[in-house]
Chains A and B, each alone.
Chain A
């Protein structure tokens, strides 16, 4: 995966804030997804299954969407920020999220663990797929503008990275252990 990502120049640049943008875009994209899930009686079903309230289930789902947005941003890097193709990447992201997270958690694990039938069947299961696609499409469409609003200026000093100045030419890792930077001659 890393080879694939690096082959496409996906490293986010120093002025980008993929995590923050992903968290916010994921949360914003959760709105249509939550509406769909609600219309498919998903939260009531989930709350009944786990003995909690629909509101708690809704909040947990929103938090999950937000975190998933950050993961999406980290995984796709520059691609997530593509103003033209972003929505399609998002749609694909929603599809894969659906396959990788809620399906195993809600359907396959309970079935495999011998507790009986999968937790979500029928309308709530349909709602889950549609919500994941809606979330992905909205995430992909919203990410670029949200990212642009958060982007730092070109003059912002990057954090946690090598220097931008002349000392960037140096290779400190090559130094022998007893080498120390010398001060100016007296």
Chain B
């Protein structure tokens, strides 16, 4: 019978927490980059201009259809050869996950924008708004509310996918756990602790998301 011993993990708990911090930083950076990239891709795809729609569509489809680990390796090992620059694990991870989550967010934006009744943009244009104004003031505010659950789900997927960066030695939670397991010879305790940390973090984030979602639904009813 195996005797569990978590003392080495408590002793190095700061390592795991530092890893969790890096996981959260990377997720936040990819979100901050991915949302505008996603909006830009969605607007380009909906623009009706083939020169903009076709490349945007290609980026969206390629990044949604290929495995994220292959994308990460491409950005980390492949891209520096074209650009002739040095690539750090952080930069490669931030680039990969910004573009990749952007591709997924683009489809959520698109579905949200398309779901707003056509009459809304027509009446906005009729009272003299430009296309961009109508999008910014009328369409997007309504679309964002509807997109929120899907955005939340995608952000959680993003956080889980960031574990892949451990393979290019960015010091996220999984990477730190792997190091600690080798140092302490306690893989069972370390990986269990890491899994629990992920579980607690992700459960908290989704609970927070659900709370915001309910608030938004309530405030929507009141203004109506």
Q: Do A and B come from one complex?
A: no
List residues of A whose CB falls within 8 A of some B CB.
none
Interface of B toward A, CB cutoff 8 Å:
none
